[in-house]
Amino acid sequence: MKICVCVKHVPDTAATIKIDGETGFKDSEIKFVVNPYDEYGVEEAVKLKEKNGGEVVIVTVGKPEAAATIRSALAMGADRAILVTTDSQFLDASLTAKALKAAMEKDGLPDLIFTGKGSVDTESFQTQYRLAHSLGIPVVNEVSTLSVDGKKAVAELEVGGGDKQVIEMGLPCVIGATKGLNEPRYPKFPDIMKAKKKKIDEMTLADLGLDASAQGVTLEKLEPVPERTGAKMIEGSVEEQVTELIRILKQDEKVL
Amino acid sequence: MDFDLTKEQEMIRKEVRKFARNEIAPKAGDLDENEEFSEDLTRKMGEIGLFGMFVSEAYEGQAMDYISYIIAVEEIARIDGSQAATIAAGNSLGIGPIYYFGTEDQKQKYLPKLCAGEGLWGFGLTEPTAGSDAGGSKTTAVLDGNEWVINGSKIFITNAACDMTMGVTVQAVTGTRDNGKPEYSCILVEAGTPGFKAVPMHKKMMWRASNTAELYFDDVRVPKENILGKKGDGFHQMLATLDGGRLSIGAMGLGGAQGAYDLALAYAKEREQFGQPISKFQAIAFKLADCAMEIECARNLLYKACWLKSHHRPFEKEAAMGKLYCSEVMNRVVNHAVQIHGGYGLMKEYNVERFFRDQKLLEIGEGTSEVQRLVISRYIGC
């Protein structure tokens, strides 16, 4: 069984992002990691490989620096990787999905595809759906339990209120992994050493016949979240306080 | 000159940091409070490969370079000194002497389990009346037929009295040298050997989640083959072991300083007084700037000493300097870090007080700061 895991190179959520120019940020100063939700996908794929044999291929669309993040996924037990290089950290989901599809088609379509339920940087939660749609195969997102048996996959997902939905589908399909699916392993040191010898095939969007400027959505501007300003205490009688509050909401904050 | 770490060294740092943050950080406070050694964490550290880091694959080690090992200790110490102590002592003092000086049989017998983190091994050097004066140790081993008979006691021995302890290397007087001074040899004693008792030491100020033992040898008999290397090599083996050990203690100082600085910087940016974060006040900002500078210097010195060792060049002077400087930098950094935290810095809830306590050992263990200065002064020709 060939399994592809789509892995995104994202800033560590604990990192302090400093915006640089209109749509960039100072990425040389911060630590990048495997998108945490994708890690569940990598772990599940490696577990399936350990059980049934086969091959796990990491597929990443990102800046050339993403190779370091890919090595982490390879150290967890994936066999090799494909990196489609781009100039920007922010690529819209439709172009990302096209790039993933083209890379997989070039390499040979897999029997199963994992993604994370979303990425922690842009949080658009679309790539898995767009990828599955373009390949014409089923997709289930936020999967917390999975079994794969011969030609079918059975996925469970939480639907709120303690209820679970159980979905059976044919292979190939796309599984959006989330917390609960497994406990991603810490790579053993010898595996980290072995990871550097594993192959990463690099190609550009143009190599895959894609145009980087043909994005459905383009990023216009990044702005920092405004710093929390000090709370205001409104003094006076209840009536005065309410009057003042309504005035502030209408005139100063313009929310009424 | 090349100040870049290799890709693998960067990955080791990244993975160990993640492990320490996720697995150790949530437990470090309670383990310290309860003075509890965690077998569970030790085994987990073994699973990812934190034991036997510099040991070759032939003995199931991780076959990594020395800087990678030091980076791993540094990253663990950044979160918790106790777990870093288990790793540093396990590698440098437990595994190191057997790997460097042991016979093929001894290596085959003990190293695979020790490198897997399934067992621990102590290094018995210090005695109740012989600390800095290691030449004054009184434990004796006498050959009786095909057995060594050991008598004496050791103190402050890390990893030597927990359920995972497989044995200890004990330095003992085995005769008199031609110059009239005692002759030392190192002998391997397995846990459970009749007459050998290892008692955990409690009520420690620091490293409270690390296992520390007093060892008693009362007519303990072990086979003649249990000698480490050759008879009479004990003093040289001990010195060589401590030279390497100093680098790992240096890494604990460096990591501990970095950890306390991380806490202080984060706190200073959050804590507001007089209407702004205290990091904006020069009195606080300059303290943090000093910490950042000293940590940078400490890291460069320690890594250089490791680089010398990795390239098989003399590194003893730099190892002493690295150990001394890193532990004293951590002293200054934890002092600033607690001060920056103000009253909260005195409370256990804010981990910085644990760093404050854990630091003190580093100026005492594996050669006091005074001994390090003595070593350095001899190397520079005083």
The mean per-residue pLDDT over the stretch B338-344 comes to 97
The verdict on A55 and A132 lying in the same domain is: yes
Inform me whether the pLDDT recorded for B133 exceeds 90.
Answer: no
Give the closest residue to A129 by CA, choosing from A175, A92, A181, A79: A175
The verdict on A162 and A237 lying in the same domain is: no
pLDDT of residue B307: 94
The mean per-residue pLDDT over the stretch B210-216 comes to 97
Query: The pTM is what?
Result: 0.85
Contact at CB, A186 and B57, closer than 8 angstroms: no
A156 close to A166: Cβ distance less than 8 angstroms: yes
Q: Does B63 touch chain A (CB under 8 A)?
A: yes
Rg of chain A over all Cα atoms, to the nearest angstrom = 22
- Residues whose CB falls within 8 Å of the CB of residue B92, separated by 6 or more in sequence, listed in order: B241, B244, B245, B247, B248
Contact at CB, B7 and A196, closer than 8 angstroms: yes
B79-117 residues labelled b (16+ CB within 10 A) or e (exposed): bbbbbbbbbbbbbbbbbbbbbbbbeeebbeebbbbbbbb
Query: For A121-139, what is each residue's pLDDT tens digit?
Result: 888 899 999 999 999 999 9
Q: What's the length of chain B?
A: 382
> Which residues constitute the domain of residue A125?
2-208
For B61, the 3-state DSSP assignment is coil
Contact at CB, A193 and B7, closer than 8 angstroms: no
By C-alpha distance, the chain A residue nearest B51 is A189
Q: Is residue A220 part of a domain?
A: no
| Measured CA distances, A232 to A121, A235, B155 (Å) | 33, 10, 61
The verdict on A231 and A191 lying in the same domain is: no
The verdict on A186 and A85 lying in the same domain is: yes
Long-range contacts from A87-90, C-beta under 8 angstroms, 24+ separation: A87/A63, A87/A212, A88/A23, A88/A63, A88/A219, A89/A24, A89/A25, A89/A27, A89/A62, A89/A63, A89/A121, A90/A23, A90/A121, A90/A122, A90/A219
Q: Is residue A247 part of a domain?
A: yes
Supply the DSSP symbol for A187. Answer: P
| pLDDT more than 90, % of chain A | 67
The mean per-residue pLDDT over the stretch B2-7 comes to 90
A123 close to A137: Cβ distance less than 8 angstroms: no
Residue A47 CB neighbour total at 10 angstroms = 16
The verdict on A104 and A178 lying in the same domain is: yes
Q: Is residue A214 part of a domain?
A: no
- Helical packing angle, B282-310 and B66-77, nearest 10°: 150
Q: Is residue A135 part of a domain?
A: yes
Better pLDDT: A189 or B114:
B114
Q: Is residue A213 part of a domain?
A: no
The verdict on A169 and A235 lying in the same domain is: no
Inform me whether the pLDDT recorded for A10 exceeds 90.
Answer: yes
pLDDT of residue A211: 87
Q: Does B262 touch chain A (CB under 8 A)?
A: no
Q: Please tell me the distance from the alpha carbon of residue B134 to that of residue B141, in angstroms, as a whole number.
A: 16
The mean per-residue pLDDT over the stretch B112-126 comes to 96
By C-alpha distance, the chain A residue nearest B57 is A190
For A138, the 3-state DSSP assignment is coil
Better pLDDT: A231 or B299:
B299
pLDDT of residue A233: 85
Inform me whether the pLDDT recorded for A6 exceeds 90.
Answer: yes
Banded pLDDT at A25 (limits 50, 70, 90): confident
Total structural domains in chain A? 2
Q: Please tell me the distance from the alpha carbon of residue A167 to that of residue B235, in angstroms, as a whole number.
A: 69
Q: What is the ipTM of this complex?
A: 0.73
Q: Over chain A, what is the mean pLDDT?
A: 91
The verdict on A204 and A230 lying in the same domain is: no
The verdict on A128 and A161 lying in the same domain is: yes
pLDDT of residue A159: 86
Q: Is residue A215 part of a domain?
A: no
Q: Please tell me the distance from the alpha carbon of residue A164 to that of residue B331, in angstroms, as a whole number.
A: 54
Contact at CB, A193 and B49, closer than 8 angstroms: no
Give the closest residue to B49 by CA, choosing from B6, B15, B98, B21: B15
The pairing of strands A55-62 and A80-85 is parallel
Inform me whether the pLDDT recorded for A89 exceeds 80.
Answer: no
The mean per-residue pLDDT over the stretch B181-202 comes to 96
Q: Is residue A167 part of a domain?
A: yes
Query: For B221-234, what is each residue's pLDDT tens digit?
Result: 999 999 999 999 99
Inform me whether the pLDDT recorded for A223 exceeds 90.
Answer: no
What DSSP line would sit under B142-187, residue for residue?
A: EEETTEEEEEEEEEEEET-SSTTEEEEEEEEEEEE-TTSSEEEEEE
Q: Please tell me the distance from the alpha carbon of residue A32 to that of residue B375, in angstroms, as a whole number.
A: 42
Phi, psi (degrees; rounded to nearest 5) at B45: -65, -35
Phi, psi (degrees; rounded to nearest 5) at A227: -65, 145
Interface of A with B (CB under 8 A): 31, 33, 68, 71-72, 75, 186-190, 192-193, 195-196, 230
The verdict on A242 and A180 lying in the same domain is: no
The CATH number assigned to the domain holding A67 equals 3.40.50.620
Domains present along chain B, CATH in parentheses? 7-120 (1.10.540.10), 122-233 (2.40.110.10), 236-379 (1.20.140.10)
The verdict on A159 and A231 lying in the same domain is: no
The verdict on A71 and A165 lying in the same domain is: yes
Give the closest residue to B37 by CA, choosing from B168, B217, B213: B213
Banded pLDDT at A225 (limits 50, 70, 90): confident
Tokens matching residue B52? 């036997």
pLDDT of residue A219: 83
The verdict on A152 and A252 lying in the same domain is: no
Inform me whether the pLDDT recorded for A30 exceeds 90.
Answer: no
Mutate to test the interface with A, among B15, B19, B55 (most CBs of A within 10 A): B15
